[in-house]
Amino acid sequence: MTEAGSTRAPWRLYLLCALAWVIPGGGHFALGRRGRAAVFLAVIACAIGVGVHLDGNLYRVVPGQPLTILATLGAMGMGAPYFALRYLLGFAGDAEAAGYEYGTVFLLSAGLMNLLLVLDTWDIGSGRKE
């Protein structure tokens, strides 16, 4: 065992990735990258906040529009905030709002950025990346 991460139990790696998905930056925090985790959390929280402020579309699957499946998966990438916004706060966006398109991009980007963090957590946890 020459790589540090190769000794890590797979279930712990899956748990780290789940944590990274649920809480933006959570995976990096658990791996000891506290500073980077704080930056990631701040960036994604800011993107979500601006997206909500602009009344962007929080994607959900629309029957007959298959591309919304991909968009919904992308937006769900933000983890817990997606479900909190959708089910706890009932947020859906406002198509007539002036910043609707911009807000949609902010919300979708927040989800996609967090998915990249999950992949990065996997790489760090498995020892592929320092």
Partner 1 sequence: MGHLAAMTLYAALLSVFFATLWRRERGAQIKLFAQIFGALLLGAVAFGWLMYFFPSGPPAPIP
| Residues making contact with partner 1 (CB under 8 A) | 36, 39-40, 43-44, 46-47, 50, 53-54, 99, 102, 105-106, 109, 113, 116-117, 120, 130
Contact (Cβ atoms closer than 8 angstroms) between residue 103 and residue 54: yes
Residue 8 CB partners (closer than 8 Å, separation 6+): 125, 126, 127
Nearer to partner 1, 30 or 54 (CB): 54
- Residue with Cβ nearer partner 1 (55 or 59): 55
Element (H, E) at 102: helix 100-125
Task: With beta carbons less than 8 A apart as the criterion, state whether 81 and 48 touch.
Answer: yes
Q: How far is the CB of 53 from partner 1 (least distance, A)?
A: 8
Question: CB-wise, 85 or 124, nearer to partner 1?
Answer: 124
